[in-house]
Amino acid sequence: MTVDFNGIGPGQVNTRKTAEQKPAAQPAAQQPAPERAKAAAARADSVSLSDQAKELKKMEEKLAQYPEIDDQRVEQIRAALADGSYKVDAEKLAQKMLEMDKSIFG
C-alpha cells in the first residue's frame, strides 16, 4: 500500500544515493563566491502561509477570546435542576443523538 503525503511518492523519501549518483561536492572554500552565495540562499529557511491558513489563524484568535465555559448558562441550568424546573425534551434529545451517530458512523 502506498501513501502519498503532499505529493511525496515512493522513492523520494529516505533514499540513499550511491557515490556515482551524488554530484561531486567542492569544499566551500574552493567554490567561487557567487556559487557560495547561491548555496547559502538555497539553504535559507522560509515559510509562506496560504490565505486560508491566515484566515484560520484569525478565527482561532477570535475564538480564544471567548471563555471555554459559559458560566451564566451553567448557573441557569444548575438553578433549574435544583428547583425542578429543568425539563428535557426527549424528542429533541433523541434527534441530536441520531445526528451524532450519523456523523460518526455515516
Segment 76-90, tens digit of pLDDT: 999 999 999 999 999
Averaged pLDDT for residues 38-59: 82
Distance CA 102, CA 106 (A): 5
Q: Flag whether the pTM goes above 0.85.
A: no
Distance CA 85, CA 80 (A): 5
Q: How high does pLDDT run on average in the chain?
A: 78
Q: What is the pLDDT at residue 47?
A: 82
- Give the number of other CB atoms < 10 A from CB of residue 36: 14
pLDDT at 59 over 90: yes
Q: What is the pLDDT at residue 17?
A: 60
- Give the number of other CB atoms < 10 A from CB of residue 41: 8
pLDDT at 91 over 80: yes
